[in-house]
Amino acid sequence: MLARATDLASVEGLDGLTIGRLAEASGRSKSSIATLFHGKEGLQLATVVAAREIFVATIVEPARTEPRGLRRLVMLLRNALVYSRDRVFTGGCFFAATAADVDSKPGPVNAAVRSALADWYGYVEAQTRAAVAAGELAIDQSEAEVLAFELLALDEAANSRSLLLGDDRPYVLAAAAMRARLLAAGADPELLGALDLAG
């Protein structure tokens, strides 16, 4: 049932995820869903937790087979682009879709989405900093935060533009731009092959 809930929220937002809407989509009764999740907020929170587990399993865990630093950073970026392109959730990135719903509404659901995104942004920045520390990027630690921000912004732009235009080309463009930005930061081109999504 949570798989259906995460998919619905990726398209209709967390505000659109109600007990009635999930009952309609899943064929379950409203009362059984209400009992299971103790109301709309409980359903939304459980959905965020489930989406976070899928996000980590799809993007983060596979990248952890690579050593910390540039290799892991490149795999994180590739996995994030592929996760959105392959529509793990119908609405693209679950967190991009739901963040706009909750960004100005304080409360537990906002906190759950914010925490998931803060962890993701922090992890990408940590790998960028590890690459700098290992001499894999020729920038200062003071520039690592900006580089991580730029790389994440390219991922988010590809997700939103692809959804809007119904086209996969933004993922190819974002990967090429990520590659160019990493090359400009001094990355070894031989370590960036995973960012070739054009092939």
Q: Where are the domains of the chain?
A: 2-195
* Residue 106 buriedness (CB in 10 A; 0-12 / 13-18 / 19+): exposed
Domain 2-195 homologous superfamily, CATH:
Tetracycline Repressor, domain 2 (1.10.357.10)
Buried (b) or exposed (e) across 140-176, using 16+ Cβ within 10 A? eeeebeebbeebbebbbebbbebbeeeeeebbbbbbe
**Helix intervals (H) in 56-107:** 61-63, 70-85, 94-102
User: Which residue type, as a one-letter code, is found at position 188?
Assistant: D
Would you give per-residue pLDDT tens digits along the chain (199 residues)? 688 888 888 888 888 887 787 787 777 777 777 777 788 888 899 999 999 999 999 999 999 999 999 999 999 999 999 999 999 988 888 898 888 877 777 889 899 999 999 999 999 999 999 999 999 999 999 999 999 999 999 999 999 999 999 999 999 999 999 999 999 999 999 999 999 998 6
